Structure 1
Amino acid sequence: MPKPVLFDYWRSSASYRVRIALHLKAVAYDRVATDLVAGGQKAPDYVARNPQGFVPMLSIDGADLTQSLAIIDFLDATHPEPRLIPADPLARAGVVAKSMIIIADIHPVNNLRMLRYLKDVMGQTQDAIDTWYRHWIAEGFAALEQQAPDAGLFGGDSPDLVDVCLVPQAANARRFDLDMAAYPKLARIDAELQAIPAFAAAHPDKFKPAG
């Protein structure tokens, strides 16, 4: 049976989430680098398969799956161990709600197409854009910090979907010089997660193009 194929961009946090999930579930995959900066996600053959022209896209079992949450939910259903989204309805709602602070509230207003619009169409300076970026992470992280456990991971002894979403967003926070000292529980959880081999294997530096 052919391995699934992940179309991603090395620095995309949504792609990073899916790579983490694939590694946690020990799903071997092939990777097709899709350069967002060069516009590879808008190539006609790619858009024919993924009309939004976004990454990631996972080609698996004859289907092209898009949107990181949908992909991870599919992986949870088809490769249930380790489970990332609880089966219990109340627990599931809680995990998805915390994850959506990142997936729906922080990430969409800070992705590359938004930043390009702010610069190219709205005429904002890079300093203003960086301030915008940090503001939305800070707002979301403040809420998530209040819900973070005092010990252990969001998933307890093993990572869950919130943990999978946190690590890429924390990487973005550091890249844009957000002081993580304001979020000590998130910083602790992020450090613990980065020591897990599946998270380390999915790190963007492993996929950064040469040159």
Structure 2
Amino acid sequence: MEDGLKLYSYWRSSAAYRVRIGLNLKGLDYSIAPVHLVRDGGQQHAPDYAALNPQELVPTLRHGERVLTQSLAILEYLEEVYPQSPLLPGDAGGRARVRALAQLVACDIHPLNNLRVLQFFDHEWNVPQPERDEWVLHWMRTGFAALEAMLVGSFDTGRFCHGAEPGLADCCLVPQLYNARRFHLDLNPYPTLCRIEEACLALPAFDAARPENQPDAI
């Protein structure tokens, strides 16, 4: 195992999925510590895990004695510590573009369909399932429409979100499209996103990170 890399992950968590892709793209060896987000009332709320990650979320990455949280921060850390197979372009403009694409997914789309948000709607406000689903679909459509436009409108878009090699933005895009299919979102309006996803999933690093290929997959 590469310097004791241990990823606390849930097979269906899109944030953990991002980090699995990044680790795989960099060719790093790591172990998986499953944290089931539903079983036992949510294993992320157990005292031992809450002490490790006070937000009680996944992923968490332990690197030796260092504990890292938040998927984008983890991926940026991996980029700095393991510069091989870079996730970010070499120029400042390219890095800013890739970070913007990644943050559009991780900061603007994903938090609004996160499990704890939907559980709050259900348990605290008794929001009916159809209304919860429409909330999720609305924000996915809004985010994906912007992402599609940003990719179509840039000469920097290539086989992947930025050029000919996958990177940070692709690490975020593919898991969010997985989420979209879980909620039966029509993806026909986003052909560029689907084209890039197809190119990504053809790579072993992405295929190995798929939710269904995880040791805790149900």
Residue 206 (structure 1) shift: 0.8
Residue 177 (structure 1) aligned with residue 180 (structure 2): no
Give secondary structure in 1 for the equivalent of 2:4.
coil
Q: Deviations over 1:53-100 (max 9, x none)?
A: 110000003111000001000111111121112342222111111111
What residue in structure 2 maps to residue 46 of structure 1?
A: 49
Provide Cα deviations, 1:111-141, integer angstroms capped at 9, x if missing partner. Answer: 0000001111111111111111111111000
Residues 158-197 of structure 1 aligned to structure 2 (within 5 Å): 158-197=165-204
Question: In the aligned structure 2, how far is the partner of 1:151 from the partner of 1:91?
Answer: 13
**TM-score with structure 1 length normalisation?**
0.95
Cα distance in structure 1, aligned partners of 2:88 and 2:123: 39
**SS of the counterpart of 1:157?**
coil
Instruction: Determine the C-alpha separation between the residues in 2 that align with 1:151 and 1:182.
Output: 19
The alpha-carbon deviation at position 193 of structure 1 amounts to 0.7
Structure 1 210/186 Cα, relative in aligned 2: closer, same or farther at 3 Å? closer
Structure 1: how far apart are the matches of 2:128 and 2:67?
Answer: 37
Question: Percent identity of the aligned residues?
Answer: 45
For structure 2, the 5+ residue unaligned runs are: none
1:3 Cα shift? 2.7
Distance (whole Å) between structure 2 residues aligned to residue 60 and residue 165 of structure 1 = 22
Q: CA RMSD in A?
A: 1.5
Change beyond 3 A, Cα 1:94–1:210: closer
Q: Which residue of 1 aligns with 2:23?
A: 22
| Cα drift, residue 155 of structure 1 | 2.4
Offset, 1:172: 0.6
Residue 209 of structure 1 deviates from its aligned partner by: 3.8
Uncovered stretches (5+) of structure 1, i.e. residues with no partner: none
CA contact (8 A) 2:102 2:168 kept: yes
Structure 2: how far apart are the matches of 1:155 and 1:23? 18
Q: How far apart, in 1, do the equivalents of 2:141 and 2:90 lie?
A: 30
SS of residue matched to 1:159: coil
* Equivalent pairs, count: 211
**Residues 1:88 and 2:97 aligned together:** no
Alignment of 1:49-198 (within 5 A): 49-149=52-152, 151-198=158-205
Name the TM-score, length of structure 2 as normaliser. 0.92
| Structure 1 residue 151: Cα displacement | 4.5
Deviations 1:163-205 (A, max 9, x none): 1100000011111111110101111111111111100000000
User: Per the alignment, in what secondary structure is the counterpart of residue 156 of structure 1?
Assistant: coil
Deviation at 1:2, TM superposition (A): 4.8
